[in-house]
Amino acid sequence: MKIKEKVKAGKAIKAVIIVLVLTAVFVATAYLIVYLSGYRIIKYQSPEGESRFMGKTDKSGQPVSGTLYLPDGRKATVDLANNKIEYSDGSVYVGETRELMPNGKGKLTKKAESYEGDFVDGEMTGYGTYIYSPLVGDKYEGFMKNGKRDGTGKYTWADGSTYEGGYKNDMKDGKGTYKWADGSSYSGDYKNDVKDGEGTYVFANGDKYEGTFVADVREGTGTYTWKNGDYYTGDFKNNMMDGHGTYYWTSGRSYEGTFKENKIVWELD
């Protein structure tokens, strides 16, 4: 009885071994067919983490079509035959790539907004044009760095207002000229997105101020000229004549002395 049980157990073990061998052969054959068909799993390392491509490659082993799994959890459909990558968040990139990241010249479209220009390692870096959604209607043409306006460029608002000049970290910074739709303009220094430094502001009504700005207000010394020809040169504080200065009337009269909140402080002898 024991001998028969041992024989049955041996046959069972052999059957299991045969099944395992056949399974291994099947898996190896399937893998070989897939491999010979050009399908691969390719991993890419970046500062954000590891990306993984699963799909078809060409004879040199470069991706052609398949699915890209990104470190941030998104997926993307890769179609490099048409230089196209469609992301799971709805954005679409068409252009040059390196390691399946936008790199070189290309166009990225997302939620009715688009950027066309230079890319470096997946980021909008270099020169390009950014078109905002029709609801916003704005446009930026100039230099970018890591997806932000950085360098020189021109921003056009939907109402026709424009700014042309320096940018840093998505903010106006350096020399620039802002022209408003109402006809007023400012040309001069910017810092952290506001007028700061020396500049000239021309008002829509024809008045003009030339002088110093601090944190977007007239502060320091400057000259304010009214449309009728009167002008004041001297100290300013909080957008007003404040401190020592001289006021000149077109009639030829003038006053030199102290001003406080746009008013002359009359000094009694």
The tens digit of pLDDT for each residue in 246-262 reads 999 999 999 999 999 99
How would you class 165 by CB atoms within 10 Å of its CB: exposed for 0-12, middle for 13-18, buried for 19 or more?
Answer: buried
Mean pLDDT of 172-195: 98
In angstroms, the Cα distances linking 89 to 35, 79, 114, 122, 236 are 30, 17, 14, 15, 51
Within a domain: 78: yes
> pLDDT at residue 156 above 90?
yes
Q: How many domains does the chain have?
A: 2
Contact 259, 243 (CB under 8 A): yes
Mean pLDDT of 36-41: 66
pLDDT score of 2: 56
Given 66, 82, 110, which residue is the final one in a domain? Answer: 110
CA dihedral 69, 72, 73, 78 (to 10 degrees): -30
Given 91, 110, 129, which residue is the final one in a domain? Answer: 110
pLDDT score of 17: 64
The number of beta carbons lying within 10 Å of the beta carbon of residue 231 is: 19
Range of the domain at 46: 40-110
> pLDDT at residue 1 above 80?
no
Within a domain: 13: yes
What confidence category does residue 55 fall into, taking pLDDT thresholds of 50, 70 and 90? very high
The three-state secondary structure class of 25 is helix
Given 110, 126, 149, which residue is the final one in a domain? Answer: 110
The three-state secondary structure class of 28 is helix
- Please name the residue that has the structure tokens 């200065």: 245
Within a domain: 89: yes
- Please name the residue that has the structure tokens 């008013």: 263
pLDDT score of 27: 44
Note the Cα 260 to chain centre separation in Å. Answer: 44
Within a domain: 179: no
Within a domain: 66: yes
- Please name the residue that has the structure tokens 């078109």: 131
How would you class 153 by CB atoms within 10 Å of its CB: exposed for 0-12, middle for 13-18, buried for 19 or more?
Answer: buried
In this structure, the answer to whether residues 85 and 46 fall within a common structural domain is yes
In this structure, the answer to whether residues 55 and 77 fall within a common structural domain is yes
What confidence category does residue 30 fall into, taking pLDDT thresholds of 50, 70 and 90? very low
In this structure, the answer to whether residues 62 and 105 fall within a common structural domain is yes
pLDDT score of 89: 95
What confidence category does residue 83 fall into, taking pLDDT thresholds of 50, 70 and 90? very high
Within a domain: 240: no
pTM of model > 0.85: no
In this structure, the answer to whether residues 82 and 64 fall within a common structural domain is yes
In this structure, the answer to whether residues 50 and 5 fall within a common structural domain is no
Within a domain: 174: no
